[in-house]
């Protein structure tokens, strides 16, 4: 374990990802440093990542990341302890693998609508901002999974509100200055806008007593072990958490996938051939979607190189010790998937985009060497949903469109709440006939 002197907050505030990557490269697997007044330990060995992520009572959610509470409340991403366990048991089953049969039709329908719009843009020879298009599409997919089509009229407002709220949050996590009241007020307004839409839909559904085939219906009727359901405020926290966690992540993974594919035209042809062979011009059914092996490999490999959730922070609740690492109560532990996913020794040619490393014979160096969805009890509850969605969207786009990058050179990542491209990703679309 290496101890670094000084306060590293100003450095991380300027360049959080680059600073952590350099720390890992220059000082080894365990680096201890101070962040403001917080003792912080960056662990970059998969064994240590496993120790931290699989002990949710000792290593909880909290610390600087609590700035997200006004938005996410006691939703699954933020809550801890008994509360988290109760809610995870109530919500988890609705997103399990065998629930995907229920969710795939709406996912495919929404993707078809957006691909139709992109085909029109291609015919009119318009250039497209790919990251904006992927964000709109994944937001629409998850809001419809949650609320059915009741929310269609509000999608634009929700998209805007998330964009405003997220830019403030990302800045506050690493902030060294006092909160700016005007910016804070804009953030509060964005949260109010989200609340108006989400609470409005929850109350309307409760009042109507109508049963529908969406996740809100499941949440409204879920009961804990004592037969108690969720209050409107709890439903609001879960809904906003699922909307946030469920769209920006997938949108970034898709945008990075196209960026990486842009450098390998032969892979785009392979993706298109597979997509067309499995019904992706119209849209696949569940069985066909599960046969989209290459699309799945591309999606996984892009999340290796650019994990949408690039940092997993935890707060120690008690003194503990593992493998030479001494932890005090109140220490922050940082697990960085970006570092693990590119670590020499864990991967062959780690910087190379090679989807086939996730082929049937894939053999990870360690189960925690690849953690785009986290690990342990708090693993992403939406992982089956997003793996299905990623495959379906990549394949349906490839089946009908050629996506040609308009930029040269490397696209740098911007580590906000999620890892997004630093600049717009402008592309030219050509209809595949
Ligand atoms: C490519 C897409 C996605 C990625 C990379 C991703 C990644 C992650 C990661 C890394 C975590 C763990 C965070 C931690 O341990 O601190 C997580 C948790 C979570 N994700 Fe996802 N996610 C994705 C899609 C989704 C979707 C589609 C949903 C919902 C529909 C979702 C809902 C959640 C929730 C509610 C949690 C908190 C789970 C808990 O603590 O019990 N995510 N996600």
Q: Which domains does the chain have, with CATH numbers?
A: 2-431 (1.10.630.10)
pLDDT of residue 301: 98
pLDDT at 178 over 90: no
pLDDT at 342 over 90: yes
pLDDT of residue 1: 85
Lookup: tokens for 281: 């011009």
pLDDT at 167 over 90: no
C-alpha to C-alpha distance for 226 and 234, rounded to whole angstroms: 16
Nearest CA to ligand 1 atom 18: 380
Spacing, Cα 313 to ligand 1 middle (Å) = 14
Nearest CA to ligand 1 atom 13: 374
Lookup: tokens for 120: 């029109």
pLDDT tens figures, 354-384: 999 999 988 999 999 999 999 999 999 999 9
Nearest CA to ligand 1 atom 17: 380
Nearest CA to ligand 1 atom 24: 246
Tell me how far apart the terminal alpha carbons of the chain are, to the nearest angstrom: 58
Q: Of the residues 147, 382, 388, which should be mutated to test ligand 1's pocket, given the most ligand atoms within 8 Å of the CB?
A: 382
pLDDT of residue 407: 81
Strand order in the sheet with 2-7: 2-7, 30-35, 38-43, 332-335, 312-316, 59-60
Spacing, Cα 4 to ligand 1 middle (Å) = 31
pLDDT of residue 63: 85
pLDDT of residue 355: 98
Spacing, Cα 382 to ligand 1 middle (Å) = 6
pLDDT band at 315 (very low <50, low <70, confident <90, very high): very high
Helix (H, G, I), strand (E, B) or coil at 105: helix
pLDDT band at 152 (very low <50, low <70, confident <90, very high): confident
Percent of the chain past pLDDT 90, that is, above it, reads: 86
C-alpha to C-alpha distance for 176 and 13, rounded to whole angstroms: 7
**384: Cα separation from own chain's centroid:** 12
b (16+ CB within 10 A) / e for 251-281: bbbbbbbbbbbbeeeebbebbbebbeebbbe
Nearest CA to ligand 1 atom 21: 380
Query: Of all atoms in ligand 1, which is nearest to the CA of residue 238?
Result: 35
Nearest CA to ligand 1 atom 1: 250
pLDDT at 168 over 90: no
Average pLDDT over residues 244-269: 95
Query: Of all atoms in ligand 1, which is nearest to the CA of residue 390?
Result: 1
pLDDT tens figures, 265-307: 999 999 999 999 999 999 999 999 999 999 999 999 999 999 9
Spacing, Cα 307 to ligand 1 middle (Å) = 12
Q: What is the mean pLDDT of the chain?
A: 94
Rounded (5°) CA angle 159-421-431:
75
User: Cβ(403)–Cβ(397) under 8 Å?
Assistant: yes
Q: Dihedrals φ, ψ of 128, to 5°?
A: -130, 145
Spacing, Cα 380 to ligand 1 middle (Å) = 4
Output the ligand 1 site: residues, CB below 6 A.
76-77, 88, 142, 241-242, 245-246, 249-250, 253, 303, 308-309, 312, 372-374, 378, 380-382, 385-386
Question: Checking DSSP bridges between strand 401-405 and strand 127-129, what pairing results, if any?
Answer: unpaired
Lookup: tokens for 372: 């785009």
pLDDT of residue 37: 87
Q: Dihedrals φ, ψ of 428, to 5°?
A: -105, 135
């Amino acid at each position: 374990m290496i101890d670094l002197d000084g306060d590293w907050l100003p450095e991380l505030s300027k360049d959080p990802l680059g600073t952590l990557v350099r720390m890992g490269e220059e000082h080894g697997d365990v680096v201890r440093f101070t962040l403001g007044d917080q003792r912080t330990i960056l662990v970059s060995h998969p064994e240590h990542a496993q120790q931290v992520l699989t002990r949710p009572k000792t290593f909880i959610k909290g610390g600087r990341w609590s700035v997200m509470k006004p938005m996410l409340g006691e939703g699954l991403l933020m809550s801890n302890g008994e509360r988290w366990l109760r809610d995870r048991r109530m919500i988890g089953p609705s997103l399990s693998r065998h629930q995907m049969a229920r969710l795939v039709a709406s996912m495919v329908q929404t993707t078809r609508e957006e691909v139709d719009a992109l085909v029109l843009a291609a015919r009119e020879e318009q250039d497209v901002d790919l990251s904006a298009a992927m964000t709109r599409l994944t937001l629409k997919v998850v809001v419809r999974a949650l609320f059915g089509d009741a929310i269609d009229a509000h999608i634009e407002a929700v998209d805007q509100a998330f964009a405003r709220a997220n830019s403030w949050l990302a800045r506050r996590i690493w902030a060294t200055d006092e909160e700016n009241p005007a910016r804070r007020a804009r953030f509060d307004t964005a949260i109010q806008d989200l609340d108006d839409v989400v609470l409005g839909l929850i109350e309307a559904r409760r009042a109507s007593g109508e049963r529908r085939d969406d996740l809100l219906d499941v949440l409204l009727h879920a009961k804990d072990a004592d037969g108690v359901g969720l209050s409107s405020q709890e439903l609001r926290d879960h809904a906003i958490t699922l909307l946030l966690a469920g769209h920006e992540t997938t949108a970034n993974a898709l945008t990075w996938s196209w960026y990486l594919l842009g450098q390998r035209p032969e892979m785009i042809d392979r993706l298109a051939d597979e997509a067309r062979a499995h019904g992706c011009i119209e849209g696949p059914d569940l069985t066909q979607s599960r046969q989209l092996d290459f699309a799945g490999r591309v999606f996984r490999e892009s999340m290796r190189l650019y994990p949408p959730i690039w940092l997993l922070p935890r707060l120690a609740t008690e003194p503990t010790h593992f493998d030479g690492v001494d932890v005090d109560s109140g220490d922050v532990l940082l697990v960085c998937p970006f570092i693990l996913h590119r670590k020499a020794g864990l991967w062959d040619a780690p910087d190379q985009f090679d989807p086939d490393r996730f082929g049937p014979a894939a053999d990870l160096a360690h189960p925690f060497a690849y953690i785009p969805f986290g690990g342990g009890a708090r693993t992403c509850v939406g992982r089956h949903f997003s793996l299905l969605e990623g495959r379906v969207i990549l394949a349906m786009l490839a089946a009908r469109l050629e996506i040609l990058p308009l930029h040269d050179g490397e696209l740098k990542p911007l580590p906000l709440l999620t890892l997004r491209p630093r600049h717009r990703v402008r592309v030219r679309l050509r209809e595949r006939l």
